[in-house]
Structure 1
Amino acid sequence: MISILIAASVGLGVSILLTPYLIRFFSKQGFGQEIREEGPEGHKSKRGTPTMGGVAIIVAMVVGYFAAHLVDYWRGVSGDGPTASALLVLFLSVGLGLVGFIDDFIKIRKQRNLGLNKTAKLVGQLVVAVAFAIMVLQFPDANGLTPASQHLSYARDIELIFFPLPIFILFCYLLVSAWSNAVNFTDGLDGLAGGAGAMVLATYVVISFWQGRLSCVEAFQPACYNVRDPLDLAVVAAAATGACIGFLWWNAAPAKIFMGDTGSLALGGLVAGLSMTTRTELLAIVIGGLFVVEMISVVLQIAVFRTTRKRLFRMAPFHHHFELAGWAETTVIIRFWLLAATCCMFGLGLFYSEQLGLGGG
């Protein structure tokens, strides 16, 4: 528990102190956000706001995680240091953040709201996701548990569906691409993705900690959680939660900096990685329900327009629909945060009820 608190505190401190420095630096370099012409009229005033603030989230998350382990070392706490599961989740998040950084940088250099083309962006996500998929099935612990499993799971490593290796790699890519793009779609209003991301990550702190307390002495016991390194995953999630909250201090409306694709892709990678390493791929759909709804709104908008030449929503993603309906931006943000919090609480309730159903308590 102390490691979790340290990770969250350091992540918060680094993020809240580093972000204003990035604001000044990016402003001097002219690294300002470009706004798409077809966007809401009220967003035109945001043009030139520094972007790529996701750098602060990534740095704070990594520093928070390793700071917690350094403190454990100084305290003489027994343990094996950083674990395979946590390092792989960090690899996935940082790797996708790098893809987003390149995308943001191209936007800035070309002074337009289009960075990497769709193919290049998908290739970048593919390389990171495939590397993660291959490595995440390695590094078994003493009980033979690897960081992730080839079973599709709700809240445990049970055989809902078993994926052969090629299908697992494809599944991993689709999961990583879906979550990173879902968070990216949500990042359209000041603080919306950052606040919702902090809630989802905080939920995973609770889930991972719970799994650690109820982990199996021997692998594959039915009433416990077969997860490798759950407590260390809680440390990663806590560091990222603190980083998001610290960044949100400067990103809340009116935003002084945007996270950009650097932050949104990194956060999406975190959700995907945590869902796989905690064996909660299906439950994550509920926990990250806001992100799912935002992504579905874009898919539906495209599908309906291509078949009927009419728009289902005034504008997609979904949050812009309400802006054009007359809601103030802050009203949309707060109400969507409430939706995100409701999804997280409902997901935790499902997780708890699943444990009760198997005789836990």
Structure 2
Amino acid sequence: MLYLLYQTLHINLFQYITVRSGFAFFISLTLSLFLIPRFIKWAKAKNANQPIYDLAPKSHQSKRKTPTMGGIVILASSILSILLCAHLVNVYVLMGLASIILFGAIGIKDDMSKIIGGQNTSGMSAKTKMMFQIIASLIVGFFLFTFSGINHEIFIPFYKYPIIDLHWLIIIFWSLVMISSSNAVNLTDGLDGLATVPSIASMFSLGIFVYMSGNAVLSSYLLLPKISGSGEVVIMAAAMIGSLVGFLWYNCYPAEVFMGDSGSLSIGAFIGYMAIISKNEFLLFLISFVFVLETMSVILQVGSFKTRKKRMFLMAPIHHHFEIKGWAENKIIVRFWIMAIISNIIALTALKIR
């Protein structure tokens, strides 16, 4: 809507991505803060509570009555803000919305199955969930490949030249990035607010890269791949960050609501999408360091048990390992937040060190 006002009424202020990003942030923040208390009240009345694993640490058993599916509010606040502030005929905005909505729908379906069944194991099977994620990511990847101006080359951090052109195989690579990022955030979302701040940090850093890549002058000066038109996605990132900040107000320890898969799957997919359109697929390992750490702990745990019949950690993902060791939950959360912030500061040096 704001971009339409610029085009029809010549309100030049609204042509700037930075201005519309500011509006998007505060609109989604306000909506999130307004809607979440009402969602919590509704969810409690409907017994839409978070199912807890029987093998989960004892401290989690008290969370059985905490409402879940707060991700619906995150998505609703973000999408409405994006519709009001972004240029909606921009292909990068449309594909960004597609990634949020498609992966959000998968998460909502999974959350609803868990709530109705009353157990974490009542959700979609791993194979079914992966099948839907593959379909969703391939749809986004295909339309990006076909209709956007994004190149098909692969870049690595701190090196200014592409290392390979994958051509149509880039669709499969993009799909892998989105699915991996989506599941990584989902695995991390196990403590109050644990996934929220690293998500905000990741979107903030990637938003800077997207803005620079979408600007002809800045991308040329910083030797970044130029992705014309991608800058509009910064508005989407601002909207998501705003809704996450509002959500964190109620999700921080002790949480009054959980985001559930409806939030974590879509947030992770959008982070992966931002890495794709800014050509930072490999830098994402550093930008999303906490998510990578959590995912690797699960992979190592499963691999170790299958090959050696021994566990590397007391419990995976790794945040549960520290819980069982006796660390206070809020201490684990804050320390993981610190790691996320530091890793993103390091990642941002790739803007100049190339």
TM-score, reference length from structure 2: 0.90
Equivalent position to 1:168, from 167, 170, 176: 170
Deviation at 1:14, TM superposition (A): 1.1
Give the Cα–Cα distance (whole angstroms) in 2 for the partners of residues 168 and 184 of structure 1.
24
Distance 1:239 1:139 in 2: 24
Q: Deviations over 1:38-86 (max 9, x none)?
A: 11110000002111100111111112222224xxxxxxxxxx6541112
Cα separation, 2, equivalents of 1:222 and 1:47: 50
Q: Report percent identity of matched pairs.
A: 31
Once residues 119 and 217 of structure 2 are traced to their aligned partners in structure 1, the CA distance between those partners, rounded to angstroms, is 50
Contact 1:149 1:157 in 2 (8 A): no
Q: Which residue of 2 aligns with 1:27?
A: 44
Matched, 1:152 2:121: no
Which residue of 2 is the match for residue 241 of structure 1?
241
> Partner of 1:359 in structure 2?
none
1:89-238 equivalences in 2 (<5 Å): 89-114=96-121, 115-140=123-148, 146=149, 148-154=150-156, 158-165=161-168, 167-215=169-217, 223-238=223-238
For 2:97 and 2:116, the matched residues in 1 are separated by: 28
Match of 1:85 among 65, 87, 92: 92
The one-letter amino acid paired with 1:239 is A
Distance 2:236 2:310 in 1: 44
Taking the aligned partners of 1:213 and 1:102, their CA distance within structure 2 comes to 38
Residue 53 in 1 paired to residue 62 in 2?
Answer: no
Cα distance in 1 between the residues matched to 2:211 and 2:26: 17
Contact 2:155–2:279 (CA under 8 A) maintained in structure 1? yes
For the pair 1:313 / 2:316, whether they are aligned, the reply is no
Cα separation, 2, equivalents of 1:151 and 1:223: 15
**What residue number does 2:271 align with?**
271
Q: For the structure 1 residues 103 and 353, does the alpha-carbon distance in structure 2 shift closer, same or farther, using more than 3 Å as the test?
A: same
**Alignment partner, residue 44 of structure 1:** 61
Distance in 2, matches of 1:170 and 1:352, equals 30
Is the deviation greater in 9-18 or in 298-307? 9-18
| Alignment-derived partner of residue 13 in structure 2 | none
CA distance in 2, matches of 1:41, 1:58: 31
Would the aligned equivalents of 1:151 and 1:158 in 2 still touch at CA under 8 Å?
Answer: no
Structure 1 unaligned residues grouped into runs of 5+:
70-79, 141-145, 355-361
Q: What is the rounded CA distance, in whole Å, between the counterparts of 1:215 and 1:282 in structure 2?
A: 24
* 1:211 CA displacement: 2.7
Q: Over aligned residue pairs, what C-alpha RMSD do you find?
A: 1.9
- Equivalent residue of 1:323, what SS? helix
Question: Which one-letter code corresponds to 2:133 in the other structure?
Answer: Q
Contact 1:85 1:228 in 2 (8 A): no
Q: CA deviation at 1:173?
A: 2.2
With over 3 angstroms needed to count, the CA separation of the structure-2 counterparts of 1:17 and 1:82, relative to structure 1, is: farther
Q: CA deviation at 1:293?
A: 0.7
**In structure 2, C-alpha distance between the alignment counterparts of 1:99 and 1:215, rounded to whole Å:** 39
Query: C-alpha separation between the residues in 2 aligned to 1:3 and 1:121?
Result: 35
Confirm or deny: 8 A CA contact 2:222 2:351 kept in the other structure. no
Provide the rounded CA distance (Å) in 2 between the counterparts of 1:245 and 1:352: 29
Is 1:10 matched with 2:2? no
Residue by residue over 1:114-145, the C-alpha shift from the partner in whole angstroms, topping out at 9 and shown as x without a partner, is: 200011101110110110111011224xxxxx
Partner of 2:346 in structure 1? 346
Q: Tell me by how many angstroms 1:216 deviates.
A: 7.8
| Residue pair 2:200, 2:244 contacting (<8 A) in 1 also | yes
Contiguous gaps of at least 5 residues in structure 2: 1-17
Q: What is the deviation of 1:91? A: 0.8
Q: Take 1:205 and 1:127, find their aligned partners in 2: how far apart are those partners?
A: 26
User: How far apart are the structure 2 equivalents of 1:205 and 1:176?
Assistant: 16
Q: Could you say what secondary structure the match of 1:137 adopts?
A: helix
* 326-335 vs 199-208, greater mean Cα deviation: 199-208
The amino acid across from 1:310 in the alignment is K
C-alpha change, 1:8 and 1:352, in structure 2 (3 Å) is farther
Indicate conservation of the 8 Å contact 2:145/2:171, yes or no.
no
| Deviation readout 1:73-121 (Å, 9 max, x if unpaired) | xxxxxxx654111220121122101101100000011111120001110
User: SS in structure 1 opposite 2:156?
Assistant: coil
2:216, 2:228 within 8 Å by CA — same for their partners in 1?
Answer: no
Change (3 A) 1:221 1:325: closer
